[in-house]
Amino acid sequence: MGAFRFRARSAVTTMSEAPAAFGGYHVDRLVGSGMQGETYLAVDPAGRRVVVKAIHAGSGRKARSALDTEVVALQSVHPAFTPRFITYDACADRPFYVMEYIEGKTVDDVLAEEGQLSEVETERLAVRLTAVLAAMHGVGTAHGDFRGQNLIIGEDGGVYVVDFGRAVLRSESRRGFRKRRRSDLRQLGELIVRARNGRAPFGEDSSLAIERYNEGRADVGALTGRTRSVALGLLRKRRCWRGSMSARRAHRILVRGRRARWRVWSGMYALPAVAVSLIQNVAPLLS
């Protein structure tokens, strides 16, 4: 696979305006810009490529606080599922943090190239994505933007989550965490359906999609078996959390089926090494 390419949301900073370096990390180019800051491809003192995320120049206390939360969220998740965190300089004129550069493609890039995945490929992808999300939710972090553009399939076959700019920590806001967790699960279900069918489960019209979601009219198309059951559960709107399809439950169903006893798998999320082994031994999505 080729190198993962960040997608600029709104590139408001040009290289002439960008700093030459952040600390000892020399900027190569701007690769993305959003409301909270910019993302740069850079080179560390040893010549290795890294990614630097910095707030906008002149940003105030709110932006600095948001970056603090983003760093905590990134560090809270096991590095088997995220780029490796390197350092954070909260005292710089423009606070920034540095993380590993992942070689690979985003899930969106893979789907754009393939169009539709086979049933087997979709199930493999679903197994990996549910494990990633279960690990995040298990440590009290909700991503808030669990879409294909923020998920990298690395050259090593692992799936890595990036862009924690909308993440919410359960320790900071239980209500906010629950809201973003529901969003993560819905987006996961939508991604599974799109991988198999090449289209969204509620249609492309945003106003109609909201109406169909509220009415529980998800079209999962060609999905069958366990993957279909999981997708329908993730896309079903519920008023309360009890009985809802969690990421852990979705992963258990995909791997063992509905009748498997949870106690067999409960240790997987307490012991990251087992989860890592599971992910890395799943056959690659693409040959």
What are the 10-residue block averages of pLDDT along the chain, 287 residues in total?
42 58 95 88 96 92 94 95 96 95 95 93 96 97 96 93 95 95 95 94 74 78 94 82 81 82 43 48 47
Dihedrals φ, ψ of 149, to 5°? -70, -15
Residue range 21-100, CATH number: 3.30.200.20
Q: What is the pLDDT of residues 11-33, one digit of tens each?
A: 444 444 678 999 999 999 998 88
- The pLDDT score that the predictor gives to residue 217 is 78
Ranges of CATH 1.10.510.10 domains, the chain: 104-281
Tell me how crowded residue 46 is: count the other CB atoms within 10 A of its CB: 7
Nearest CA to 139 among 107, 183, 177, 186?
177
What does the pLDDT read at residue 112?
94
pLDDT score for 4: 46
Structure confidence at residue 242 (pLDDT): 56
Single out the residue of 69, 67, 62, 79 nearest to residue 38, CA to CA. Answer: 67
> What is the Cα–Cα distance from 57 to 18, expressed in whole angstroms?
10
| Region of 39 on the Ramachandran plot (φ > 0 left; ψ -120 to 50 alpha; else beta) | beta
* Amino acid (one-letter) located at 259: R
Distance CA 70, CA 75 (A): 9
pTM for the full predicted model: 0.80
Residue 283's pLDDT is 44
82 in Cβ contact with 152 (< 8 Å): no
Element of type H or E holding 14:
none
Residues of the chain with CATH 3.30.200.20: 21-100
Looking at residue 202, its pLDDT comes to 81
- Please name the residues in contact with 63: beta carbons below 8 A apart, sequence gap of 6 or more: 36, 37, 55, 56
**pLDDT value at position 129?**
97
CATH of 104-281, one of 3.90.25.10, 1.20.1560.10, 3.30.420.40, 1.10.510.10: 1.10.510.10
Q: CA-to-CA distance for 170 and 251, rounded, in angstroms?
A: 21
| Residue 180 zone, left/alpha/beta (φ > 0; ψ -120 to 50; rest) | alpha
